[in-house]
Amino acid sequence: MNTLTDRYLAATLRSVPAQRRDEIASELRASIDDMIEGRTDGGQDATTAERAVLTELGNPDVLAARYADRRLQLIGPTYYLVWLRLLKLLLSFIPALVGTIVAVVDVAEGQGFGAIGSGIVVALHVAVHIGFWLTLTFAIIERSQQNVDLPDWTVDQLPDVPAHRDISLADTIASVVMLVVTIAYLPFQHYRSWVHDTDGDNIPVLDPTLWSFWLPALIVVLLGSLVFEIVKYRVGSWNWALFGTKALLNLAFSVPLVWLALSDRLLNPALGERLSWLAEADNRNLLGLAIAVGTAAIVVWDLIDTGLKTRRQTA
Amino acid sequence: MVSEDVLRTHLQELRRGTVVVASLVALRRPDYGYALLQRLTDHGFPVDANTLYPLLRRLEDQGLLTSEWNTEESRPRKFYRTSDEGESMLTRLLDDLAAVQTSITGLIQGVDR
């Protein structure tokens, strides 16, 4: 026999616990026959009645789940919030941590800037693994019968009301990323620039003699700015002390840069050998002037903007 | 105008627990699944077959119903009957249902319209 009813019973019983399968089978078959009979007595033909009854009973997997008292969800409301909090907590630092370690190890082994790529790939792998294994663990807990004792919520867990912020996290992250990229560029341009000499070796954009003092000094100032951004975020809004520090840091970076540009000590003289336009002193002076004016304009605009913000936020 | 979906959800929630009460009352007289379904429907408790059949098993597992196979008729059927345990729980449930009705009535009368 392979009627629709047989197929329906087989589909339902497939996922019902084995020890009660036979009994459920007999009872369900009797119920289905009763329901079909109820319809044929009302004048329906047997085939239509069978289809209608089985449609009424619905998806056999759902019916089986009801018989077995099984939950039709991966992680239910009991564990969902704990799962979500753990997932956020683990994802917030482990992938970045592991990725950074891998990248640093690769750099130490001399892979250069390709190491950043492998660090990101490892971080993504770690994130996927965390998501998968954590979810699997919770799905198993959800299905195991014994209840896991979760600590009850108390009012002491309430977080502080977030302090009013005038400085957003997004702005801070953007500033930090910009600073990191700038710091990384200084050594990077020494090894990789778009200019090569006749032997195919790299010509640094900035004068290599600057490494004796000025470039390390500028890097220190940039690192100071990095710390400043974090402190500023912790403080939460502009005040005049922050404004003063910011002004000092800006000047400490821009004054040496402008001075080096104007005195034609910024760019690598070797560039002139490959780029004929730079070989002429007039052109080099013009470029230096452009860099100096551009830098000065950015600094002045930034100080005015910051000053206005500070006055508004301290008012 | 209340949307049909919202209304249906609330009615479902309101009705959910009453199926158990109705079944326990109805099965003071032993009956099998399909016949019980018909009796409940006739008395204004429309319930889906795919809800009722698993529910009967669950109530039996909880000891609120006892069952017996009847093989005398055209096909063997499993007859359920409310157990002593089911009867004492039914008393509690009916008391609570009455208490809900009383509370609602009191609330309706107490609220100025």
CATH of the domain at B86: 1.10.10.10
Report CB contact under 8 Å: B34, A35.
Answer: yes
Q: Three-class SS of residue A7?
A: helix
Query: Quick one: pLDDT at residue A74?
Result: 87
Task: Select from B48, B53, B58 the Cβ nearest to the Cβ of A31.
Answer: B53
Proportion of chain A above pLDDT 70, given as a percent: 94
Least confident range from B6-10, B53-57, B74-78: namely: B74-78
- Shared domain for A63 and A117, answered yes or no, is no
pLDDT band at A156 (very low <50, low <70, confident <90, very high): confident
Domain assignment present for A99:
yes
Going from the C-alpha of A116 to that of each of A81, A95, A120, A134, A248, the distances in angstroms are: 34, 14, 6, 27, 32
In which band, very low, low, confident or very high, does the pLDDT at A293 lie, cut at 50, 70 and 90?
A: very high
Q: Is residue A186 part of a domain?
A: yes
**pLDDT at residue A160 above 80?**
no
Going from the C-alpha of A64 to that of each of A18, A24, A208, B50, the distances in angstroms are: 12, 10, 76, 10
pLDDT-based confidence at residue A230 (cuts at 50, 70, 90):
confident
Of B58, B65, B100, the closest CA to residue B79 belongs to B65
Q: Please say whether the beta carbons of A202 and A192 come within 8 A.
A: yes
Q: Please state whether A50 falls in left (phi above 0), alpha (psi between -120 and 50) or beta.
A: alpha
What mean pLDDT do residues A137-159 have? 80
Query: Looking at A21, A39, A67, which one is the last position of a domain?
Result: A67
Residue B71 pLDDT: 83
pLDDT tens sequence across A167-195: 778 888 888 888 888 888 888 777 776 67
The CA distance from A67 to B86, in Å, is: 20
CB contact under 8 A, B76 and A63: no
**Chain A residues in contact with B53 (beta carbon < 8 A):** 27-28, 31, 63, 67
With 0-12 CB in 10 A as exposed, 13-18 as middle and 19+ as buried, what is B57? buried
Residues with Cβ < 8 Å from A63, sequence gap 6 or more?
A: A12, A57, B50, B53, B54
Q: Is the pLDDT of residue A272 over 80?
A: no
The residue from A67, A100, A122 where one domain ends is: A67
pTM, two decimal places: 0.59
Residue A309: inside a domain, yes or no?
A: yes
Q: Does residue B39 sit at the A interface (CB-CB below 8 Å)?
A: no
For residue B49, list chain A residues with Cβ-Cβ distance below 8 A. 31, 35, 56-57
Instruction: Work out how many domains chain B is built from and give that number.
Output: 1
- Taking only the tens place, the pLDDT of each residue in B100-109 is 999 999 999 8
Residues A133 and A241 in one domain: no
In-domain check, residue A210: yes
Give the structural domain span for A50.
4-67
Which residues in chain A touch residue B35, judged by CB atoms under 8 angstroms apart?
A: 34
Prediction ipTM score: 0.83
pLDDT for res A111 = 66
Its domain, for residue B36, covers 4-110
- Asked if pLDDT for residue A64 goes beyond 80, the answer is yes
- Which of the listed residues A67, A85, A110 is the one where a domain comes to its end? A67
Whether residues A229 and A263 fall in one domain: yes
Task: Please report how many Cα atoms fall inside a 13 Å half-sphere around the Cα of residue A280, on the Cβ side.
Answer: 6
Up-side HSE of residue A72: CA atoms within 13 Å toward CB?
9
- Do A145 and A177 lie in one domain? The reply is no
Residue-wise pLDDT tens digits, A4-32: 899 999 999 888 878 888 888 889 999 99
CB atoms A69 and B76 under 8 Å: no
Provide the 3-class DSSP secondary structure of residue A282.
Answer: helix
The whole-number pLDDT of residue A132 equals 94
Kindly state whether residue A95 falls inside one of the protein's structural domains.
yes
Q: Give me the sheet containing B31-32, strands edge to edge.
A: B31-32, B77-82, B65-70
**A308 in the same domain as A200:** yes
pLDDT tier for residue B75 given thresholds of 50, 70 and 90: confident
